[in-house]
A and B are shown apart, each in its own frame.
Chain A
Amino acid sequence: MSASNYATERETAEGKVFTVTGGDWDVVLSGTDPINDERIVVNMGPQHPSTHGVLRLVLELEGETVRELRSVVGYLHTGIEKNMEFRNWVQGSAFVTRMDYLAPLFNETAYSLAVEKLLGIEEQITERATVIRVLMMELNRISSHLVWVATTAMELGAINMMLYGFREREYVLEIFELITGLRMNHAYVRPGGVAQDVPDEAIAKIRDFLKLMPKKLAEYEKMLSGQPIWLERTQNVGVLDATGCLAMGVTGPVLRSAGLAWDLRKTMPYCGYETYEFDVPTHTDGDVWGRYLVRLAEIRESLKLVEQAVDRLRPGPVMVADRKIAWPAQLAIGVDGMGNSLEHVAKIMGQSMESLIHHFKLVTEGFRVPPGQVYVGIEAPRGELGVHAVSDGGTRPYRVHYREPSFVNLQALPAMAEGGLIADVIAGGASLDPVMGGCDR
Chain B
Amino acid sequence: MSAPQDRTDDGGVPVPVTPAGATGGAPAELPPSSPAGRGMFGDQGTGDVSGYGGLVRPQRSIEAATRPYGGYFDEVADALEEAYPAFGEAIEKVVVDRGELTLHIRPERIAEVCQVMRDDLSLRFELLSSVSGVDYLGADARRLHVVYQLTSMTYRRQVRLEAAVSAEEPHLPSVTSVYPTADWQEREAYDMFGVIFDGHPGLTRILMPDDWEGHPQRKDYPLGGVPVEYKGAEIPPPDRRRSYQ
Question: What residues of chain A lie closer than 8 Å to B236, measured between beta carbons?
Answer: none
Question: What residues of chain B lie closer than 8 Å to A157, measured between beta carbons?
Answer: none
Contact assessment for B26 and A267 in the assembled complex, using a CB-CB cutoff below 8 Å:
no
Stretch at the interface among A6-14, A81-89, A187-195: A81-89
Assess whether B158 is interfacial by the CB under 8 Å rule.
yes
Contact partner, B184, options A85, A87, A407, Cβ 8 Å: A407
Per-position 1/0 for A96-124, Cβ under 8 A of B: 00000000000000000000011010000
Question: What residues of chain B lie closer than 8 Å to A265, measured between beta carbons?
Answer: none
Question: What residues of chain A lie closer than 8 Å to B205, measured between beta carbons?
Answer: 74
Q: Which chain A residue lies CB-closest to B188?
A: A407
Stretch at the interface among A16-24, A57-65, A244-252, A293-301: A244-252
Contact assessment for A83 and B223 in the assembled complex, using a CB-CB cutoff below 8 Å:
yes
Assess whether B4 is interfacial by the CB under 8 Å rule.
no
Contact assessment for A249 and B149 in the assembled complex, using a CB-CB cutoff below 8 Å:
no
Contact assessment for A267 and B156 in the assembled complex, using a CB-CB cutoff below 8 Å:
yes
Q: Which chain A residue lies CB-closest to B180?
A: A247
Given contacts A249-B129, A394-B57, contact A73 B223 (CB under 8 A): no
Assess whether B107 is interfacial by the CB under 8 Å rule.
no
Contact assessment for B181 and A386 in the assembled complex, using a CB-CB cutoff below 8 Å:
no
Question: What residues of chain A lie closer than 8 Å to B52, measured between beta carbons?
Answer: 364-366, 395
Contact assessment for B180 and A248 in the assembled complex, using a CB-CB cutoff below 8 Å:
yes
Stretch at the interface among B5-13, B43-51, B68-76, B82-90: B43-51
Question: What residues of chain B lie closer than 8 Å to A117, measured between beta carbons?
Answer: 98
Question: What residues of chain A lie closer than 8 Å to B60, measured between beta carbons?
Answer: 371, 393
Assess whether A28 is interfacial by the CB under 8 Å rule.
no
Q: Which chain B residue lies CB-closest to A247?
A: B180
Contact assessment for B51 and A364 in the assembled complex, using a CB-CB cutoff below 8 Å:
yes
Stretch at the interface among A165-173, A201-209, A396-404: A396-404
Assess whether B134 is interfacial by the CB under 8 Å rule.
yes
Per-position 1/0 for A371-407, Cβ under 8 A of B: 1111101000000101010101111101101010001
Bound together, the chains give a CA A138 to CA B112 distance in angstroms of 40
Question: What residues of chain A lie closer than 8 Å to B147, measured between beta carbons?
Answer: 373, 388, 401
Assess whether A77 is interfacial by the CB under 8 Å rule.
yes
Given contacts A246-B126, A371-B60, contact A88 B158 (CB under 8 A): no
Contact assessment for A374 and B98 in the assembled complex, using a CB-CB cutoff below 8 Å:
yes
Per-position 1/0 for A115-142, Cβ under 8 A of B: 0011010000000000000000000000
Contact assessment for B98 and A398 in the assembled complex, using a CB-CB cutoff below 8 Å:
no
Question: What residues of chain B lie closer than 8 Å to A262, measured between beta carbons?
Answer: 153
A158 to chain B, nearest CB (A): 31
Assess whether B206 is interfacial by the CB under 8 Å rule.
yes
Interface contacts (Cβ under 8 Å), in number, total: 135
Bound together, the chains give a CA A288 to CA B159 distance in angstroms of 33
Please, how many residues of chain A have a CB less than 8 angstroms from a CB on the other chain? 52
Bound together, the chains give a CA A83 to CA B223 distance in angstroms of 7
A142 to chain B, nearest CB (A): 25
Assess whether A268 is interfacial by the CB under 8 Å rule.
yes
Contact assessment for B128 and A249 in the assembled complex, using a CB-CB cutoff below 8 Å:
yes
- Contacting A at CB under 8 A, from B148-202, are 149, 151, 153, 156, 158, 160, 179-181, 183-185, 188, 192
Q: Which chain A residue lies CB-closest to B56?
A: A394
Question: What residues of chain B lie closer than 8 Å to A390, measured between beta carbons?
Answer: 134
Bound together, the chains give a CA A399 to CA B162 distance in angstroms of 15
Please, how many residues of chain B have a CB less than 8 angstroms from a CB on the other chain? 53
- Contacting A at CB under 8 A, from B74-116, are 97-98, 100, 102
Assess whether A79 is interfacial by the CB under 8 Å rule.
yes
Q: Which chain B residue lies CB-closest to A415?
A: B180
Bound together, the chains give a CA A20 to CA B30 distance in angstroms of 48
Question: What residues of chain B lie closer than 8 Å to A371, measured between beta carbons?
Answer: 60, 62
Assess whether B216 is interfacial by the CB under 8 Å rule.
yes
Given contacts A249-B179, A401-B132, contact A267 B153 (CB under 8 A): yes
Tell me which of B130, B147, B183, B205 has the highest count of chain A C-beta atoms within 10 A of its own C-beta. Answer: B130
Given contacts A364-B50, A388-B147, A398-B27, contact A247 B207 (CB under 8 A): no
Contact assessment for B58 and A77 in the assembled complex, using a CB-CB cutoff below 8 Å:
no
Assess whether B65 is interfacial by the CB under 8 Å rule.
no
A327 to chain B, nearest CB (A): 16
Bound together, the chains give a CA A83 to CA B133 distance in angstroms of 16
Question: What residues of chain A lie closer than 8 Å to B192, measured between beta carbons?
Answer: 81
Given contacts A371-B62, A398-B134, contact A118 B129 (CB under 8 A): no
Per-position 1/0 for A339-382, Cβ under 8 A of B: 00000000000000000000000001110000111110100000
Assess whether B28 is interfacial by the CB under 8 Å rule.
yes
Assess whether B55 is interfacial by the CB under 8 Å rule.
yes
A203 to chain B, nearest CB (A): 35
Closest 6 CB pairs of A and B: A249-B181, A403-B130, A401-B132, A392-B28, A77-B207, A74-B207
With A250-B181, A408-B185 given, name 9 new contacts (CB 8 A): A73-B184, A77-B208, A83-B223, A373-B134, A393-B57, A393-B58, A394-B55, A399-B132, A407-B185
Q: List 24 A-B contacts (CB under 8 A).
A: A73-B206, A74-B207, A74-B208, A77-B208, A85-B223, A86-B46, A86-B223, A118-B98, A248-B180, A364-B51, A371-B62, A372-B62, A373-B100, A374-B98, A374-B100, A377-B158, A390-B134, A392-B27, A392-B139, A395-B55, A399-B132, A399-B135, A407-B184, A407-B185
